[in-house]
Amino acid sequence: QKEVEQDPGPLSVPEGAIVSLNCTYSNSAFQYFMWYRQYSRKGPELLMYTYSSGNKEDGRFTAQVDKSSKYISLFIRDSQPSDSATYLCAMSAGNNDMRFGAGTRLTVKP
């Protein structure tokens, strides 16, 4: 079992849809949870950062962390074609070794 599991998709939705992306993990030491967006042939870009359990909202994006279930989610409201990218979940125990999921490839169709 991988330390961080993420469904690779691909996921295709119509413009305006609500998108739900998820990751599960096995290491209970993880405290810092992040979502990165990676466009084709580009480096990952930090989207959301959450410490411990709870919700965080930033514009159309909401990140949720449930440490009791070892489950994190990213919701995208009113999805746009420009949201088409690969979304990577990442987590860290506070040391320098961040663990990434495999990434979910999202396509938002006009």
Partner 1 sequence: ETGVTQSPTHLIKTRGQQVTLRCSSQSGHNTVSWYQQALGQGPQFIFQYYREEENGRGNFPPRFSGLQFPNYSSELNVNALELDDSALYLCASSLPGGTGELFFGEGSRLTVL
Regarding 94 and contact with partner 1 (CB under 8 A), the answer is: yes
Q: Least CB distance from residue 78 to partner 1, whole Å?
A: 26
Regarding 21 and contact with partner 1 (CB under 8 A), the answer is: no
Nearer to partner 1, 42 or 77 (CB): 42
Question: Residues 6 or more apart from 89 whose CB is under 8 A from it?
Answer: 4, 6, 21, 23, 33, 34, 35, 36, 72, 74, 100, 101
Position 19: which residue type? V
Position among 1, 14, 40, 43 found at the interface with partner 1 (CB under 8 A):
43
